[in-house]
Structure 1
């Protein structure tokens, strides 16, 4: 008996995710997504009212897996909170060495849609970054760090800056350097022993 494949909508989003991440949202046509998903353009539009809706679904699909990945890297790194935060950056540097690595899909999409601040994908990207910042804030509060909200924002800025500079230079050592700065910030904010 043949096992049914994923539902049509999920196949479309998976195809869009691969293409959008690899090539960018503006350079990928709806026809290309439909072809990769193995559906007609009409079927694609049955599930998504517009390409904008498909772009939003692509980012929404990345949200929880990306957050879970950062949390896993944090948890798997040995040591106290400063080491664990640095571990996120080191894991990102390792990922950036892979030839298919294209950076942060949320940042790349927001750059492509910079002139469309009300776009649903921009809102999803902003919510993703706020979720990451909120998670870090909780981590820092639990660790007794001073001004956990500001510290979480500083680490997010280091992370997103590292993503951007890495795309320009294709040198993962920028991620590692940002990780060292994050380590220093977190270590300085912790309560004295």
Structure 2
């Protein structure tokens, strides 16, 4: 069962400060390394305020992941708008968007993958949220592959998601040196195999 988190528009100024502080700290240091005391102090609020707004540390982590994902999705939609016609260009635009996002918001790889690495139980709200986010990207890739007329769009979307997430991980580790161009070239080759 997933915990409910406040919608962005309904956040109080204190809740917004908490979420911003948590986002910086969780992404930079990891979930387990950052306690609610640290987040509350960074946000300039009491622990009681944090718990009143987010219910638990896990609720705050889910809110952090949802907030980051919401901003990523908006970034990706803008990138796709630059390629209005269906085709391989729109499929590859997903990789360009990820590269731009990583340059502006990243440095430590994918926040969702990093969070999932710290959660053992696939039924925990954090793990469920990460799976939802990755499913969304995979479904988008399948939709774009289908619109481009590529063969076996579901199978192709699976492979493209692995390239996408591998590039995000590579951006966090620094190996390979240029993960997004490498992933984009591999994605183009896969699209060619599937009929582009």
Match of 1:52 among 52, 58, 62: 58
Q: CA separation in 1, counterparts of 2:65 and 2:133?
A: 9
Match of 1:32 among 30, 34, 38: 38
Is 2:128 the counterpart of 1:123? yes
Is 2:164 the counterpart of 1:175? no
> 1:19 matched to which residue of 2?
25
Measured against aligned partners, the alpha-carbon deviations of 1:172-193 in whole angstroms (never above 9, x if no partner) come to 51221111011111233236xx
* Unaligned 5+ runs, structure 1: none
* TM-score using structure 1 length: 0.83
Q: CA separation in 2, counterparts of 1:165 and 1:78?
A: 29
Deviation larger for 96-105 or 33-42: 96-105
RMSD value, Cα: 2.5
> 1:68 matched to which residue of 2?
74
Larger Cα-atom Rg: 1
Q: CA separation in 2, counterparts of 1:131 and 1:94?
A: 19
Q: CA separation in 1, counterparts of 2:106 and 2:43?
A: 20
Is 2:193 the counterpart of 1:188? yes
* TM-score using structure 2 length: 0.82
Q: CA separation in 1, counterparts of 2:17 and 2:87?
A: 39
